Structure 1
Amino acid sequence: MTNYTLESMRRTPAGYAWSRFGEPEYTTWFDENIAWKKTCYIGDWSFLWQHRITGPDALRLISEHTVNTVKGFRIGQSKHAIHTNSDGKIIHEGVLTKFGEDDYLVHGRGGFWLRFNAERGGYNATVAQENWFILQVSGPLSIKLLHKLDPRDGLLETGYMHVSPIRIAGHDIWALRQGMSGELGFELQGPIELKDDVYAALWDAGQEFGIRRMGGRGAPINHLEAGYPTIATEYIPAIFDNPDYLEYFMSSMPKFALPAYIAGSFGGDSIEDYYRTPVELGWARMISGDHEFPGREALLAEKENPRRVLRSLEWNSDDVADILSSFVLDENHYTYMELPRDQRGFMWADRVERDGRVLGVSTSRGFSYWFRKTLSLATIDVDAAEPGSQLEVVWGNPGDPEKRVPVTVHPSPYKAPHAKDSLLDAVQ
C-alpha cells in the first residue's frame, strides 16, 4: 500500500479530478455557470459510489457510525450523513436514503466506512456495493422540464431531501429533491443501465428550456457559490490515523479516487492539520446527541462553543488581476492561478490572516462568472467571522513569491439558496 505522508500529498497528481464529469466544457464554463441561474443544466455525478445496507441491524450500524439522528427516519427520506473519527474529524459524508424497512442506500464514500465496520462483525447487516447513475437537473426551469417528462403530481409534492418516483423514457427511477448548486433541482437516480435512455430524454426535452451540459471546469463553482464543502477540497478525510481502514479503503477504490493532494500557502505540520469537523464546515445542525457515535463528546462540546466556522471570502479584484497579469509581465511571477479554478484535485489551502496572525484556511478559490468575483470558502476563527470583516488571504505555493490579497468576509453560502418551499409555482 502507498505510504501517504504530508510530503507525498504535496506532489502534483497524475490525473485531473474534475475530468470525472466528462468534458471540461460543453459550451463555455461561463455559459454553463449562467445556466444554473437562468435556465437549467444537467450534470453527471454517476462517478459516485453506492452501497445498499440491508438487514435487521442496518439502522443500528448507520446510527453507531453517523453523527445524524435516525429517530423518525421515514421511508423516502434522505439525510446528509456524516461519519467521524474518535476526535470528531470527518472521515466521509454523503447522501443516505431510506427506501424501505431495513433497506438503505448511501451515495458517496461513506458506504466504504459502513461496509468496513459491518464486516468487522457485531451487526446482522449486509453492505453491498451497487452501481447507480446520478444526474443532477437544476436551475429555475428544471421543474418545468421534469414535469413535462412526467406530468404526474407526485413530483411537485416532494419535500426537500425526500425522494419521489418519476418515469422518464419509460423507466421508473427516483428523483431526490436536492441540488449542489443551491438552486431548484433534483438528482435523478437509478440503475446505471438506464442512464443513457434517461439522459437522452432529458437532453431532448430540455432544449425548450435552454438546458446546458455541466462540464468539469464549471461544476465546482456551483459548490463554491452555494457553500457546499467538498471532500479532498475543503478537507482531507480523516483516514490516515486508521491504518486498517486506510488499506481497506484504498483497495476498494478506483485509481482516480486517491485521498487528496495539498497545495497553497498554508503549511500544516501534519496531515491532521487538514482534517475538519462538521462544526467547522457549517454542519453543526447535523450533529445529534441522542445516540453514541465516534467523536460524540468532542463534537457536542464544539457545537456549543465553536472555535472556527465556515464563511465565504470575496477577493479584491484588482489584486487578483495583479496575480494574473504577473504571468505575462513578470519573470518572477506569482503562483499560477487557473480560471475558473484549479482542476487537478488539490485541497488548495491558503492562509487567512489579519495583522500577520493566522485566523484560518481558505479553500476552493474560484471565479464566479455570474458574480464577476473571485471567491473562496474558509474555516476561520469565530472572532474574525463577522460578515463585512476585512482580512487577507496569502496566495502562493511554498517557494513562490507570496501575494497578500485583501478579502471581505461574507456568509456561506455566498449566493442565497432557492427557497425550499412548494414546487407548484415553479411550473406555472
Structure 2
Amino acid sequence: MTESLADAIARAGGALPLLRNAQARPTIFPVTAEFSNWRSEQQSWRESVALLDQSHHMTDLFVSGSDALRLLRDVGVNSFASFPVDRAKQFIAVNHEGYLIGDAILFHLDDDVFDLVGHQMVIDWLQFHGETGGFDVTFERDGNSIVRAGDPKLYRYELQGPNALALMEKVTGAPVPDTKFFHMATFDLDGVVVRSLRHGMAGQPGFELFGPWSEGDRVRDALLRAGEDFDLVRVGAKAYSSANLESAWVPSPMPAIFSGRDTERYRAWLPATSAGSLAGSLASDRLEDYYVTPYDLGYGRSVAFDHDFIGRAALEELAADPPRQKVTLVWNADDVAAAQRSLLEPGLPAKYIDFPKARYGLYQVDRVLVDGRDVGISHDAGYITNEHVFASLASVESASAAPGTEVVVVWGEAPNSRKPAVEPHRQVEIRATVEPAPYSRFARESYRR
C-alpha cells in the first residue's frame, strides 16, 4: 500500500523534518543536459531562436465533464467569466488561509475539456477536490517521464527568441496570424496539424507547439530543418531550468498543504512521494513562514473576486495592502566568488553554488536580511548569461522592495540536512541588490505584447 503524506509526516515527527531531510532529488528535467553548452543555449533565446523540449518534465491533467469549469472556478483564484476554447491562462490556487498551493498553465482544448500542465502541486490539489467534492468530472493523468511508464500523450515544443516568428512562417509556409498572448492557433506543419500557444517563457517572443506524441518526431525534425536558416539552437535541461530567472516566474514555492483548514484530508489522500523537499537557510519552526501568497509572487492581477473560491476571504483581506512584493536580487559578484573559492581553501567550505541553477531542494527558501533583520525569502537562484549576473527571485517586504536596496542573502543550511544534494558546509552571507522582476528590461516591457 502506498504511504500517504500524513503517515510520512507522522513517521518523521513533523512536516519540516520530513521535508528538510527528504531523499527526493531536486527537480529533474529528463532531457539532454546540454546540446552545446548552457551559456550559448541561454543566449539563443535572446539573440536568435531556441528550441526547447517540454514533453518530459511536466504533468498533464486532462479534466473533462459537465462540472469541469465549475471545479476550476471553485478551486482557482482566476476569473472564468470569459474563457473560451483556444485560450489558456496561468491557473492559481490557494488554501483557505490564502497561502499559495501552486500554479500551472490551463489550456481550454474543447467544450468541457481542459488540460492543466505543470508541476504536480496544484494538479494534485485540483484532482483531490474533483474526486472528493461531488463534481461530475473525469480525470486523465499523464505524469512526467520520471514516473510514467511509456511515452507521453503529447509532444510539447517551445520556440523562443527574435527569430521565432520568421521560423514559424517558413516552416508553415504561411503568415502567422496575429495571435494574442495566451491565445491558441492551429497550423499545418509538414502535413500534420499543430496547435500553438502564443506566449514568451523567457520574456521573448514564443510559441508552444503541441500535438499527439506519434507526430512529435516529424514536427521536431521539420523545425530543425527550417531552423538552419535562423540560427536555431536546441536547448538542454541546464539552460531550460534557468529560463524562469529572466521571466521572473518562481516554479516551485512551498505549497501550503502542511497546515491550515481542511488540509488534513488532503494529506491523507496525497501519496508521500508528492511531498517534495525543502532547502535553504530559513530555519523557522512555523510552517507559515515558508509559504507565500499570490501577491508575494506578483500574481495579484490574476486574483478575481467575481466568484467564490477556496481562500477568497483571506485574499480579500490581503488585497488592500499586500505585505510583500516579488523582486530580483542581484548577488554581489565578489561574495559569490568568495563562496566558490572556499571550496579551494582549507577548512569547511560554503555550500556549493551550482551553475546555472543553484537550487538544491524542490522548495528553495533562503533568508533575506536588511541590517540583520529578516525582510523576506529568496527562491530560485542562478546565473543569467544574457545579463552577466548571478541572481535570485525573492519575496520581500514592501519597505525593502525599492530598486537599489541593499540586502543580504544567507546561503547554506545550519544545521546541515541529510538531503542527497547537501554536503558538509557552513552558512555564508552574500550581499545583494534589489532590482525589478523581471530583471531584463525587454521581458518587463514586452512579455505580454
Taking structure 1 as the reference length, the TM-score comes to 0.90
Check whether the contact 2:54–2:155 (CA below 8 A) recurs between aligned residues. yes
State how far apart, in whole Å, the 2-side matches of 1:311 and 1:87 are.
23
Q: Is 2:161 the partner of 1:139? A: yes
Matched residue type, 1:195: G
Q: Is 2:61 the partner of 1:51? A: yes
Check whether the contact 2:279–2:361 (CA below 8 A) recurs between aligned residues. no
Aligned residue among 88, 97, 102 for 2:98: 88
Which blocks of at least 5 consecutive residues in structure 2 are unaligned?
Answer: 10-14, 143-152, 416-424
Matched residue type, 2:80: V
Residue 268 of structure 1, CA deviation: 2.5
Residue 378 of structure 1, CA deviation: 0.6
SS at match of 1:175: strand
How many residues get paired?
Answer: 412
Check whether the contact 2:297–2:395 (CA below 8 A) recurs between aligned residues. yes
Q: 1:385: which partner in 2?
A: 401
Q: 2:321: which partner in 1?
A: 305
Q: 1:238: which partner in 2?
A: 256
Q: Is 2:421 the partner of 1:409? A: no
Change (3 A) 1:113 1:39: same
Aligned residue among 161, 165, 187 for 2:182: 161
Matched residue type, 2:256: A
Matched residue type, 2:388: R
Q: 1:32: which partner in 2?
A: 41
Q: 1:332: which partner in 2?
A: 348
Residue 56 of structure 1, CA deviation: 2.4
Matched residue type, 2:248: G
Superposition map of 1:65-76 within 5 A: 65-76=75-86
Superposition map of 1:281-300 within 5 A: 281-300=297-316
State how far apart, in whole Å, the 2-side matches of 1:420 and 1:335 are.
34
Check whether the contact 1:42–1:135 (CA below 8 A) recurs between aligned residues. yes
Residue 100 of structure 1, CA deviation: 3.0
Change (3 A) 1:291 1:207: same
State how far apart, in whole Å, the 1-side matches of 2:238 and 2:361 are.
12
Check whether the contact 1:362–1:379 (CA below 8 A) recurs between aligned residues. yes
Check whether the contact 1:236–1:259 (CA below 8 A) recurs between aligned residues. no
Change (3 A) 1:204 1:246: farther
Change (3 A) 1:343 1:409: closer
Q: Is 2:147 the partner of 1:120? A: no
Taking structure 2 as the reference length, the TM-score comes to 0.86
Residue 358 of structure 1, CA deviation: 0.5
State how far apart, in whole Å, the 2-side matches of 1:128 and 1:330 are.
54
Q: Which deviates more from structure 2 when the two are superposed, residues 284-293 or residues 105-114? A: 105-114
Post-superposition CA distance 1:300-340 (Å, at most 9, x none) = 22121111111000111111111111110232321211122
Residue 93 of structure 1, CA deviation: 1.5
Post-superposition CA distance 1:13-44 (Å, at most 9, x none) = 45452332x12211111111111110111112
Check whether the contact 1:18–1:217 (CA below 8 A) recurs between aligned residues. no
Aligned residue among 204, 209, 215 for 2:230: 209
State how far apart, in whole Å, the 2-side matches of 1:213 and 1:373 are.
23
Matched residue type, 1:135: Y
Change (3 A) 1:314 1:305: same
State how far apart, in whole Å, the 2-side matches of 1:318 and 1:306 are.
34
Q: Which deviates more from structure 2 when the two are superposed, residues 336-345 or residues 364-373? A: 336-345
Check whether the contact 1:18–1:344 (CA below 8 A) recurs between aligned residues. no
Misfit runs of 4+, over 6 Å: none
Residue 65 of structure 1, CA deviation: 0.7
Post-superposition CA distance 1:349-394 (Å, at most 9, x none) = 2211111100011121111122111100111011111111111112
Matched residue type, 1:118: G
SS at match of 2:130: helix
Change (3 A) 1:88 1:343: closer
State how far apart, in whole Å, the 2-side matches of 1:95 and 1:212 are.
25
Aligned residue among 273, 282, 291 for 1:275: 291
State how far apart, in whole Å, the 1-side matches of 2:129 and 2:280 are.
35
Check whether the contact 2:359–2:380 (CA below 8 A) recurs between aligned residues. no
State how far apart, in whole Å, the 2-side matches of 1:36 and 1:24 are.
17
Identity of aligned residues (%): 30
